[in-house]
Amino acid sequence: MSQDNHSARPQGRPPEGDSRLSRVEAQLRSPFLFFFVSALIWLLASSVLALISAFKLQAAAGVLDCEIFTYGRVSAAQHNLFIYGWGFNAFFAVNLWLTSQLGRFELRNAWLVTLGAVVWNLTLTYGVLRIFAGDMNSFSLLEMPRGVGPVLAVAFLLAAFWPIVAYARRPTGHSFASQWFIVGASFVFPLTYLLTQLLVLWNPASGVVQALAHSWFIQNLLLLWLGGSALASVYYFLPKVLGRNITGYYLASVAFWTFFLFAGWTGSASLLGSPIPLWVQSVGVVGAAMLLVPIIITAINFHGTLSVDGGWSRAWNSTTLRFVSFGAVAFTIAGFLNAFFSFRGYNAVVRFTSFGAGQEQLLTYAFASMVIFGAAYFILPRLTGSLWPSAKLVHLHFWATALAAVGSIAAALTVGWQSGKQLADASVPYAKVLAASSGLATASVLFAILFLVGHVAFALNAFGMILKSSAPAAESRHD
């Protein structure tokens, strides 16, 4: 599986480790486990809050009926814990591991990374507690008090700057697609986050500029940070586990540049019909359409690789690739839906419905989170020197989360489309639209329970492995 020595450039297949591999991983072990344990704790907390939120939406009274646990506060806290707690901590860990492996980077300042992790999680805890106390903003994923933002930005630099260092210090001139996406994501987020904090919270811009800045931030956060990090993992684990090169890997550089060029411009497409200049709205529509270029290329890279020599069958029999392949398919679907429903006619139908929430969940959970799970099944056994304690919990985790993701996303998209069509028809009474929404609320409770079951199964398995972990070995079972 080693890369050909005579090749002048990588062919989309990660190199095998050498004698330094165990030392590289040993230095990553402590910060990686700290990040991942933190991510698991936040995932469980967000799952419980999601269940409470679903109950409150389905039955407005009777569930934790007090001021602290109003629906708005619970929903905002759950959203922030899932993105900033689970997603960020997990990708801090996975990105650091990937770039260290590909660049043979030995982390000699692990205490700085751990410091960043501690500051990030303590600040997030404070921010979420302030949300429960009612000290919150009205912008999605910016609800935490404005004083939290600069501290999170500093913590991000301490925790996520090291993949950039690993890339800069790689021993050869070769680089891989995984490295490009991680470095790009690590550059983009702090810049967009700080600028958005300035324009929205610290020195609020006038008029519609706040809305534009917020939509730009959301697209950069979801697509470039979470999406870019997840794409890096897919580009690594597909060829690594299958033992073959990425199909059409020469196109990966085009996918990288077009993805980072157009993704940030799609934000204004979410503001179609709002009082912003039409040309600004059109920029978002064009950006979403042009984003089809990297979507098609990554589909060729991923699905083409899986379609050769029984790749799909082998992926199904690999715990890592079962999750990663699920995520790769979800990313392709999310990309096409994003482009299709950015056009004015179709966007007008789904604009004020649950359709947008379904699209976000398709990207953040079905793609990014499932890829994180797959990466964890590969990496944790290597760093702990242990095997997964229970195969049954692994299967329960996959089926519970996969079914919940498919069911909840399909329900949100379907109900959103139907509600949009009914809202556009003046002859349809509003009570009929509300009836469809109430059905979605009931289904959300069932899916939230299923998500919680899957996450508890994964956490039990992961904590069991970590607690009985030994020193990392150069050769260990990783799937």
- Model confidence over 165-183: pLDDT tens digits? 888 888 777 889 999 999 9
Q: Are 329 and 305 in contact (CB under 8 A)?
A: no
Q: How confident is the model at residue 62 (pLDDT cuts 50, 70, 90)?
A: low
* pLDDT for 471: 47
How much of the chain exceeds pLDDT 90, in percent?
68
Q: At what angle do helices 319-340 and 391-423 cross, to 10 degrees?
A: 10
Say which residue, 86 or 274, is predicted with more confidence: 86
What spatial distance separates the first Cα and last Cα of the chain, rounded to whole Å?
17
Angle at 102 between CA 181 and CA 375, to 5 degrees: 70
Q: What pLDDT is stored for residue 63 in this prediction?
A: 63
Check whether 90 has a pLDDT greater than 90.
yes
Res. 4: pLDDT tops 80: no
- Give per-residue pLDDT as tens, 270-280: 899 888 889 99
Digit-coded pLDDT (tens) for 217-255: 999 999 999 999 999 999 999 999 999 999 999 999 999
Q: What is the pLDDT of residue 2?
A: 34
SS3 174: coil
Distance (Å) of CA 303 to CA 239, 257, 299: 12, 20, 5
DSSP tag of 471: -
For 125-139, what is each residue's pLDDT tens digit? 999 999 999 999 999
Residue 42 pLDDT > 70: yes
| Contacts with 223 (C-beta within 8 Å, 6 or more apart), sequence order | 259, 263, 264, 266, 363
Helix (H) or strand (E) segment spanning residue 349: helix 344-350
Q: How far apart are CA 300 and CA 249, in angstroms?
A: 9
Both tokens of 471, joined, read: 């020193």
Provide mean pLDDT across the span 395-405: 97
> What is the band of 469 on the pLDDT scale with cuts at 50, 70, 90?
confident
The two structure tokens encoding residue 232: 């890096």
Domain boundaries defined on the chain: 19-175, 309-479
Q: Is the CATH number of domain 309-479 3.90.1150.10? A: no
| Rounded mean pLDDT, 393-408 | 97
Please check whether residue 243 is in contact with residue 166, taking contact to mean a CB–CB distance below 8 angstroms. Answer: no
- The CA dihedral of 118, 123, 126, 129, to the nearest 10 degrees, is -100
Contact between 228 and 2 (Cβ < 8 Å):
no
pLDDT in tens, 296-334: 999 999 999 999 888 899 999 999 999 999 999 999 999
Helix (H) or strand (E) holding 256: helix 252-262
68: confidence class by pLDDT, cuts 50, 70, 90: confident
